[in-house]
Structure 1
Amino acid sequence: MADIRYYDVILKPIVTEKSMNAMGEKKYTFMVHPEANKSQIKEAVEKMFEGTKVKSVNTMNMDGKNKRRGMVVGKTAKSKKAIVALTEDSKDIEIFEGL
């Protein structure tokens, strides 16, 4: 497995209607490195966003979608998504404020 640092774990936030509704329950959704495990994701969130305490991490692996361009058939890259639940006394994550 590759040597993954905490700043390489979280790739980008996922902003959808479903993830925005989950923010009321202090659950935030991120696209993460495919080889990152739950403890690495927890460490990355707590280090990158000051004052946050992670209660739980749920991950899901998503297969690439089938794509076709003319007669050429292929797949997009696999990805991994993580839903991070924060504790009640934790601060909110700043990048989601005002959305």
Structure 2
Amino acid sequence: MSANLNLVKIQDRLLQVILAPQITEKATRIADQNQQIAFKVRTDATKPEIMAAVELVFKVEVQSVTVVNVKGKEKRAGRIMGRRKDWKKAYVSLKPGQEINFAAGE
């Protein structure tokens, strides 16, 4: 019974790791050239967690994961300086023949 509970906790954690796909000009260029997809992920996510989460959510096989910590931009409102939150970006390389189609719902 407790093994089943642990499995549910692990799956819940994996479903929370990926926050959103990064759809930018740079991400599109990288996807075309290197067959990589960029995702915004939790700042405490590890490479094995990201790999398992992508495989669980999108039902594809992942070859490798590269992670980038992105510093938040400094912003100002009048004389007050502020800073956006730091965040983490993951570039996921899929195995040959694998593909993620984000427009499948249309």
Fold in common (TM above 0.5): yes
The C-alpha deviation readout for 1:39-79, integer Å capped at 9, x for no partner, is 000000000002x1111100010111111100111110010
Percentage of pairs with the same residue: 35
Q: Which one of 45, 59, 63 corresponds to residue 71 of structure 2? A: 63
Query: After TM superposition, where is structure 1 displaced by more than 4 Å over at least 4 residues in a row?
Result: none
Q: Which one of 2, 23, 26 corresponds to residue 31 of structure 2? A: 23
Secondary structure in structure 1 of the residue aligned to 2:23? coil
Normalised by the length of structure 2, the TM-score is: 0.80
Structure 2, gaps ≥5 residues long: 1-9
Task: Report the count of equivalent residues.
Answer: 93
**How far apart, CA to CA, are the structure 2 residues paired with 1:96 and 1:72?**
41
Q: CA deviation at 1:16?
A: 1.2
**How far apart, CA to CA, are the structure 2 residues paired with 1:17 and 1:9?**
23
Normalised by the length of structure 1, the TM-score is: 0.86
The structure with more radius of gyration: 2
Please, which moves more after superposition, 36-45 or 21-30?
21-30
Secondary structure in structure 2 of the residue aligned to 1:23? helix
Judged with a 3 Å threshold, the aligned counterparts in structure 2 of structure 1 residues 30 and 96 are, in CA distance, closer, same or farther, namely farther
